[in-house]
């Protein structure tokens, strides 16, 4: 009876995860269940419904979680009805201790259409339980499943050996062909490595000259400029910037000295790009121009300092 009463309370908490902010934004938070086992993936969703002109910054939960660990974050379903846009932010969590967990309230930052001041609305708390599997202390210790015996098949083993030999021969000829094509007069051609900041600046100038957003190719423009900056960060700082979400990337850069002065600008830059790519947001022309300026500023302010050779005075 007590356990059923607890589930009712948890369900009420799940259904109550809705917050409002002045009629221009609505935040709803929920999980796919209220009862989880240790090691289960917990799918936690923040759904933000807003007016089309409202700009939302992707919520970052990594620093706010205590009992659970964030595994990854995805952009979920996007829907539009009239002047209202609804976007899901999905967080995959995992717990390793048996405990009752309260998720939230978490802040969701946004900008109104009529104000440049950053505002915030909070999700309501969502209650879940992480528990261990029920164990019978008097029962036998046994495997979850009985061991499976795989019968020996000589034909399969022979086919595997033949396939390995064929692959080895193919690999040998490919290697030697590659060596020949790369060699001239017995020397191997060496590719000249371009420093990441010079490569990024060249690509930015080329993108600027193409005038994509001026021709209506706004999404292509934002995808290209984001790729250039992420590729620069990955090559310059050895961070997997191409493989993580914007919130995860900002979390990696938060404590790096090189980014302290431009962290907020980088956050706005990535948020604008995500809005265009995932929420079909159409920014003002001034925003497109500002993102190009921010890209130049970001690369120039984080590039390595150039060493000027010393000039010795003649006696």
Per-residue pLDDT tens over the stretch 66-115: 888 888 888 888 888 888 899 999 999 998 888 898 988 989 998 887 87
Q: Which residue do the tokens 């356990």 mark?
A: 3
> What's residue 141's pLDDT?
64
| Cα dist from 221 to 12, 145, 200, 207, 250, whole Å | 45, 53, 15, 8, 21
Q: How far is CA 21 from the centre of its chain?
A: 27
CA 189, chain centre distance (Å) = 37
Q: What is the pLDDT of residues 8-23, one digit of tens each?
A: 544 444 444 444 445 7
Question: Which residues make beta-bridge pairs with 37?
Answer: 131
Looking at domain 2-131, its CATH architecture is Sandwich (2.60)
Q: Which residues contact 78 (CB under 8 A, 6 or more apart)?
A: 85, 86, 87, 88, 278, 279, 280
Q: How far apart are CA 129 and CA 101, in angstroms?
A: 6
Structural domain boundaries of the chain?
Answer: 2-131, 196-302
What's the CA gap between 243 and 241, in Å, rounded?
6
Q: What is the pLDDT of residues 34-66, one digit of tens each?
A: 999 988 999 999 999 988 888 888 888 877 788
Between the CA of residue 181 and those of 172, 175, 176, 178, 185, what are the distances in Å? 15, 10, 9, 5, 11
**Are residues 107 and 59 in contact, defined by beta-carbon separation less than 8 angstroms?**
yes
Whether the CB-CB separation of 47 and 88 falls below 8 Å is answered with: yes
Find how far residue 209's CA is from the centre of its chain. 29
- 245 closest CA partner among 72, 41, 63, 43: 72
Question: Would strands 41-51 and 183-184 be described as parallel, antiparallel, or unpaired?
Answer: unpaired
pLDDT tens track for 261-290: 777 778 888 887 777 777 567 778 888 888
3-state secondary structure labels for all residues of 260-275: CCCHHHHHHHHHHHHH
């Amino acid at each position: 009876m007590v356990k059923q009463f607890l589930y009712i309370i948890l369900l009420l908490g799940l259904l109550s995860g809705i917050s409002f902010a002045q009629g221009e934004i609505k935040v709803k938070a929920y999980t796919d269940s209220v009862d989880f086992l240790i090691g289960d993936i917990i799918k936690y969703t923040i759904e933000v419904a807003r007016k089309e002109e409202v700009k939302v910054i992707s919520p970052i939960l990594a620093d706010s979680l205590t009992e659970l660990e964030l595994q990854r974050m995805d952009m979920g379903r996007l829907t539009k009805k009239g002047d209202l846009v609804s976007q899901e932010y999905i967080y995959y969590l995992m717990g390793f201790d048996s405990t009752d967990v309260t998720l939230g309230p978490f802040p969701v930052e946004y900008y109104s259409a009529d104000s440049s001041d950053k505002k915030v609305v909070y999700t309501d708390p969502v209650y879940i339980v992480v528990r261990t599997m029920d164990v019978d202390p008097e029962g036998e210790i046994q495997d979850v499943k009985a061991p499976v015996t795989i019968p020996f098949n000589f034909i399969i083993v022979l086919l595997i050996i033949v396939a390995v030999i064929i692959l080895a021969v193919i690999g040998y000829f490919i290697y030697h062909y590659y060596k020949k094509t790369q060699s001239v007069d017995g020397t191997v051609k060496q590719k000249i490595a371009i420093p990441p900041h010079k490569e990024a600046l060249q690509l930015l100038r080329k993108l600027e000259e193409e005038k994509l957003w001026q021709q209506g190719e706004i999404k292509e423009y934002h995808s290209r400029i984001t790729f250039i900056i992420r590729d620069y960060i990955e090559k310059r700082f050895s961070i997997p910037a191409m493989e993580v979400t914007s919130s995860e990337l900002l979390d990696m850069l938060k404590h790096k000295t090189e980014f302290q002065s431009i962290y907020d600008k980088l956050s706005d830059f990535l948020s604008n790009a995500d809005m265009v790519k995932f929420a079909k947001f159409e920014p003002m022309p001034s925003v497109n121009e500002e993102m190009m300026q921010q890209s130049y500023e970001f690369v120039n302010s984080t590039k390595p300092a150039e060493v000027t050779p010393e000039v010795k005075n003649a006696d």
